[in-house]
Amino acid sequence: GDSVTQTEGLVTVTEGLPVKLNCTYQTTYLTIAFFWYVQYLNEAPQVLLKSSTDNKRTEHQGFHATLHKSSSSFHLQKSSAQLSDSALYYCARYTGYQNFYFGKGTSLTVIP
């Protein structure tokens, strides 16, 4: 069936160190686009990154991700984590016809 699997639970990283949040998917249907959403405490989710092109790197706010259809992945990475990056991150897949599949979310905490 269709699913999006993220690094589960809590991820803690020290400020200045790299961070990687995994996202993989299983699908029966064609994937139109992939997203990473970020939700800061007491705020609404907002788009961080979007990609619909295989093997093309997309970047925003220091984060980057590359959609790899061969390995069914869309991992989120940042070379140097900041305290302000602490938030809940969702990977989401869009298959068309207004169908979205969200992962369970990964809570990132950046410590000094």
User: Where on the chain is the footprint of another protein (CB under 8 A)?
Assistant: 32-33, 35, 39, 43-47, 50, 88, 90, 94, 97-100, 102, 104-105, 107
User: In angstroms, what is the minimal distance from the CB of 94 to another protein?
Assistant: 5
User: In angstroms, what is the minimal distance from the CB of 97 to another protein?
Assistant: 7
User: In angstroms, what is the minimal distance from the CB of 98 to another protein?
Assistant: 4
Q: What does DSSP say about strands 106-111 and 9-14: parallel, antiparallel, or unpaired? A: parallel
* Range list of β-strands (E), 1-112: 3-6, 9-14, 19-21, 23-26, 33-39, 46-51, 57-60, 63-66, 76-78, 87-96, 99-102, 106-111
Q: Which is nearer to another protein, 24 or 45 (CB)?
A: 45
Q: Which is nearer to another protein, 18 or 40 (CB)?
A: 40
Q: Which is nearer to another protein, 16 or 100 (CB)?
A: 100
Q: Is 38 helix (H, G, I), strand (E, B) or coil?
A: strand
